[in-house]
Amino acid sequence: MLNRRDFLKSAAVAAAGTGALPGFIGHAMATTTKARHHVVIVGGGYGGATAAKYLRMWGNGAVDVTLIERNTTFVSCPISNLVIGGVKRIEDITISYDNLKSKWGVKLITDEATAIDVDKKTVTTAKHGTIAWDRLVLSPGIDLLPGRIGGLEGKEDRIPHAWKAGPQTVLLRKQLEAMPDGGVFAMHIPRAPYRCPPGPYERACLVANYLREAKPKSKVLVLDANGEIQSKKALFTQAFERYGALLEYVPNSALQSVDADTLTAELEFDSIKADVLNVIPPMRAGNIAATTGLPLINDAWVDVDWLTLEAKGMPGVHVLGDALFPAPAMPKSGHMANQHAKVAAAAILNLFEGLPPNPTPVVMNTCYSFVDARNVIHVASVHQFDSAKKQPMPVAGAGGVSAMANDLEGKAALAWARNIWADMLA
């Protein structure tokens, strides 16, 4: 880990190295003479895209917003398990950034952010030089750590994770389609905390749902590094039971190594040969947040001030979504990243006007999970800011889970997706 001073030094070198590029963007000079404020957002996912839209909408266009995103289109992780299960297509979860540009006036830069300099207030990009900000928002999601599992590094084309939606999602679907009837689909779940607590169990159900219809002699093997199902345990246990011998759940199954040639997964006491191997590796905050000198907890997640979502001790640098160290009972979800973004957008606009941030922010979460093509279960929670604890706390008695899997919530889950996608991108 770089300490802060080392980081500043290396960031300064990086900035000096790129300052002469023709693509250099003039905000550094402009902001001193112009009264307009400029927010740069890194990452156009659930947190970053929501922040971009809400800063423009709530700021009535008075604040300039630049969004740096490496991908040309948004591809949603929520609903991506339905693509893997053959219920939806990748086009159904792919959305353009055009409305953020044309309707909301967000400046979109398709590029990789490579470094930040907190003192100079700049972000360095791979192809667009160095960009100055008055406030920086980082919502980079997670980066995976395949190096922590022997033999996995560099093998994601053979052993997909599909834990970032896009080509990986399509690849895993293709592998399932090519798998012979009677084959073994083995998946590995890393130790918590990881992105989307119910996501792996939803995936297991949807793969089993596909195989039951298309290749009923096959088997789904769920190797969980955790000691038990991490979310909606009773409801997922029921769902698993309904797949009978087709689906086997094995807790305490931390993966030691893989052999990409033979698709063998080595556990502590067991060795499993798969036909399709889906390993979700350990993960931490996206690199632009995890390796640039921000304050980390467990060397993985960014420690934030909950009234503004600023990294602790780094005023002006806001961190949203999966990258941050969550408050009690707060999951790493797209729904929650969207809610973080609204708290941060409101705080940033207040701070630009010389007002304190809202002292009583509220966030809430819902994660819908499909247990087959039609039936869904939810988990929900509401989190109110606790001024003594200085963080949001789940409200006792509020939230909870579905009584049972049901198709009404199957419709609600798809409506949720439509509305949250519009809430961030339309």
Partner 1 sequence: MKLNIAIAAFGIAGLVGAAHAQDPNLARNLAATCANCHGTNGKSLGGMESLAGEPKEKLLQKLADYRSGDKPATIMHQIVVGYTDEQLDLITTWFAAQK
Ligand X SMILES: Cc1cc2nc3c(=O)[nH]c(=O)nc-3n(C[C@H](O)[C@H](O)[C@H](O)COP(=O)(O)OP(=O)(O)OC[C@H]3O[C@@H](n4cnc5c(N)ncnc54)[C@H](O)[C@@H]3O)c2cc1C
Which of 75, 343, 344, 405 is in the footprint of partner 1 by CB under 8 A?
343
Counting residues that bind ligand HEC (by CB under 6 A) gives: 4
387 counts as binding partner 1 under rule CB under 8 A: yes
Helix (H) or strand (E) holding 58: helix 46-58
Confirm if 381 and 394 have CB atoms less than 8 A apart.
yes
Q: Does 363 bind partner 1 (CB under 8 A)?
A: yes
Amino acid at 420: I
Q: Which is nearer to ligand X, 24 or 264 (CB)?
A: 24
Residue 308's binding partner out of ligand X, partner 1, ligand HEC, none, with CB under 5 to 8 Å set by partner kind: none
* CA distances to 199, 207, 254 from 377, in Å: 12, 17, 27
Residue 412 is a binding residue for ligand HEC (CB under 6 A): yes
Determine if the peptide bond prior to 359 is cis (ω within 30°): no
Q: Which does 286 bind (CB under 5 to 8 A by kind): ligand HEC, partner 1, ligand X, none?
A: ligand X
Per-residue contact flags (x/-) with partner 1 for residues 48 to 67, judged by CB under 8 A: -----xx--xx---------
- Name the residue whose CB lies closest to ligand HEC: 366
Instruction: Kindly give the residue spans of alpha helices, DSSP state H, lying in 159-198.
Output: 167-178
Q: Find all residues with CB under 8 Å of 408, minimum gap 6, and list them.
A: none
Locate 270 and state its tokens.
Answer: 């067991």
**Which x/- pattern, by CB under 8 A, does the window 294-333 give for partner 1?**
----------------------------------xx-x--
Stretch that binds partner 1, among 1-9, 59-67, 181-189, 355-363 (CB under 8 A): 355-363
Contact predicate 84/166, CB 8 Å: no
Of 97 and 249, which has the nearer Cβ to ligand X? Answer: 97
In the complex, least distance from residue 412 CB atom to partner 1, rounded to whole angstroms = 6
Q: Which stretch binds partner 1 (CB under 8 A): 68-76, 235-243, 289-297, 386-394?
A: 386-394
Of 416, 417, 421, 425, the one binding ligand HEC (CB under 6 A) is: 416
- Residue 96 binding: pick among ligand X, partner 1, ligand HEC, none (C-beta 5-8 Å cut-off by kind): none
Q: Would you put residue 390 in left (φ > 0), alpha (ψ -120 to 50) or beta? A: left
Minimum CB distance to ligand HEC, residue 92 (Å): 20
CA 337, 286, 193, 324: dihedral to nearest 10 degrees?
-50
Smallest gap from Cβ 413 to ligand X, in A, equals: 7
Of residues 353-382, those binding ligand HEC (CB under 6 A): 364, 366
In this complex, which beta carbon is closest to partner 1, that of residue 10 or of residue 406?
Answer: 406
Nearer to partner 1, 12 or 380 (CB): 380
* Interface pick for partner 1 out of 148, 191, 217, 233 (rule CB under 8 A): 233
Alpha-carbon distance of 94 to 209, in angstroms, equals: 23
Q: How far is the CB of 295 from ligand X (least distance, A)?
A: 18
Residue 233: which H helix or E strand, with range?
A: helix 233-242
Host H or E run for residue 284: strand 283-285
Q: Which does 77 bind (CB under 5 to 8 A by kind): ligand HEC, ligand X, partner 1, none?
A: ligand X
Cβ-in-10-Å burial (0-12, 13-18, 19+) of 245 comes to exposed
CA distance 276 to 279: 10
Nearer to ligand HEC, 178 or 395 (CB): 395
Interface with partner 1 (CB under 8 A), residue from 113, 311, 342, 375: 342
How many of the other CB atoms lie within 10 Å of CB of 216? Answer: 10
CA 293 and chain centroid, separation: 21
Of positions 163, 236, 306, 385, contacts partner 1 by CB under 8 A? 385
Q: Which of 78, 408, 370 is nearest to 208 (CA)?
A: 370
8 A C-beta contact, residue 15 and residue 115: yes
**Rounded Cα gap, residues 380 and 402, in angstroms:** 9
Please give the residue ranges that form the binding site for ligand HEC (CB under 6 A).
Answer: 364, 366, 412, 416
